């Protein structure tokens, strides 16, 4: 574990002092102010007043997170979290991003260029601390947890509040958080909207958060209302040609399938990304395949062209109806993760099914 107190670098010491100062401010403010009313407490979800009262306390993935003031030096450790902060117009308050799976969304590219990328994948704890962050967010507990950049306690011991996306906690048991494990209940877009509202409250840009949620809701309703594909079955292939990772019932892909009225052929498993055999895919013979075009190149089947080449040459997959009819729906890897990109995935799937006249 990185030992902050033995560091000889003044920049790192200043972060510790800043963290202690923030905690002191929070303590003083809490001690000198009247107890927050029930209405004030409710504002942690982004509803109510357009202005945040600090210190702000948010219940986040089993932790109580207190933010003493609007963050000015934020680091986001996953693309999903980064794209929310950029969408809220917070590039000028970000000092680092990391763990990218795809190019940034086109409408966010200009703002993204102004924010330092600490690493394409996971940065070290030391690299993150060198930015002197006053807030750290992440989309996955595997990034902000054991085996990731650092455990949340390591940041919070330095007075740096952390925030983990509710999409990686809601509907999961304790054993499945921080991993692609089982969900106890299907994910919904409400978890994404909750993340937007809570981050908007933390940064004191609630009105921007509400406007962004309204935009996503409108896009969702428009795409979902364009088609009702009740007789269509889908399989969502993320990666790996030997034993493919496909989507189970209850993650982002479940939202996508349900929104267009289609059925995920692996909806009988609650595992978020089970590995299956190609024979089992053939047994279920989906109408169309949703293929993730991943920017990473770590294993066979990451890139779209390698997926299609495999499907059209393998003696088992050649027999799939979707392959014979070339019914491939291409999405980004990020579209298959619970995030604002889930709506992008809905739009792409709905558009493809409509073009093929599959559904009403």
Sorted by where each starts, the structural domains of the chain and their CATH numbers stand as 4-218 (3.40.50.1980), 228-355 (3.40.50.1980)
pLDDT at residue 47 in the model? 45
Provide the greatest CA pair distance for the chain.
Answer: 72
CB 24 within 8 A of CB 142: no
Given a cut of 70, whether residue 110 has pLDDT beyond it is: yes
pLDDT band at 155 (very low <50, low <70, confident <90, very high): very high
pLDDT at residue 34, as a whole number: 31
Report whether 289 contacts 200 (CB < 8 A).
Answer: no
Taking Cα atoms as reference points, which of 289, 288, 279 lies closest to residue 316? 279
For 202-220, the pLDDT digits (tens) are: 999 999 999 999 999 999 9
- Which residue, among 81, 345, 94, has the nearest Cα to 234 in the 3D structure? 345
Instruction: List Cβ neighbours of 51 (8 Å cut-off, separation of 6 or more).
Output: 204, 206
User: How does residue 77 score in pLDDT terms, banded at 50, 70 and 90?
Assistant: very high
Give the residue-averaged pLDDT of 290-300.
82
Residue 123, pLDDT above cutoff 70: yes
What are the residues facing 312 on neighbouring strands? none
Q: How confident is the model at residue 223 (pLDDT cuts 50, 70, 90)?
A: very high
> pLDDT band at 300, cuts 50/70/90?
confident
The mean pLDDT value of the chain amounts to 86
How far apart CA 216 and CA 344 sit, in angstroms, is: 10
- DSSP per-residue letters across 297-319: -SSTT-SHHHHHHHHTTSTTGGG
Q: For the segment 228-238, what is each residue's pLDDT rounded down to a tens digit? A: 999 999 999 99
Share above pLDDT 90 across residues of the chain, in percent, rounded to a whole number: 76
Q: State phi, psi for 354 to the nearest 5 degrees.
A: -65, -40
Look at residue 9 and tell me whether its pLDDT is greater than 90: no
Rounded to an integer, what distance in angstroms lies between the CA atom of residue 19 and that of residue 260? 47
Lowest mean pLDDT among 42-51, 275-284, 290-299: 42-51
- Examine the pLDDT at 312 and tell me if it is beyond 50: yes
């Amino acid at each position: 574990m990185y030992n902050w107190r033995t560091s000889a670098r003044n920049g790192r010491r200043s972060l510790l002092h800043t963290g202690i100062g923030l905690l002191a401010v929070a303590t003083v403010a809490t001690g000198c102010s009247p107890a927050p009313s029930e209405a004030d407490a409710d504002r942690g979800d982004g509803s109510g007043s357009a202005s945040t009262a600090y210190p702000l306390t948010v219940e986040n993935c089993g932790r109580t997170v207190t933010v003493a003031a609007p963050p000015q030096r934020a680091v986001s450790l996953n693309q999903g979290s980064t794209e929310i902060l950029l969408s809220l117009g917070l590039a000028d308050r970000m000092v680092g991003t990391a763990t990218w799976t795809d190019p940034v969304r086109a409408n966010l590219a200009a703002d993204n260029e102004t924010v330092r990328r600490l690493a394409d994948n996971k940065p070290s704890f030391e690299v993150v601390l060198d930015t002197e962050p006053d807030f750290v967010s992440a989309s996955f507990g595997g990034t902000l947890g054991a085996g990731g950049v650092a455990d949340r306690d390591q940041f919070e011991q330095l007075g740096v509040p952390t925030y983990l996306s509710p999409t990686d906690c809601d509907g999961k048991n304790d054993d499945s958080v921080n991993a692609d494990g089982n969900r106890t209940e299907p994910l919904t877009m409400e978890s994404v909207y909750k993340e937007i509202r809570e981050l908007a409250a933390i940064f004191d840009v609630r009105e921007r958060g509400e406007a962004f949620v309204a935009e996503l809701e409108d896009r969702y309703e428009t795409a979902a209302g364009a088609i009702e594909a009740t007789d269509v079955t889908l399989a969502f292939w993320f990666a790996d040609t030997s034993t493919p990772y496909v989507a189970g019932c209850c993650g982002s892909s479940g939202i996508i399938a349900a929104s267009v009225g289609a059925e995920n052929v692996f909806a009988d498993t609650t595992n978020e990304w089970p590995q299956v055999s190609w024979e089992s895919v053939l047994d279920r013979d989906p109408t169309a395949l949703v293929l993730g075009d991943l920017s990473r190149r770590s294993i066979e089947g990451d890139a779209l062209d390698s997926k299609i080449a495999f499907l059209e040459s393998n003696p088992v997959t050649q027999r799939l109806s979707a392959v014979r009819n070339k019914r491939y729906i291409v999405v980004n890897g990020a579209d298959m993760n619970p995030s604002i990109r889930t709506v992008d995935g809905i739009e792409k799937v709905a558009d493809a099914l409509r073009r093929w006249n599959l559904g009403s």
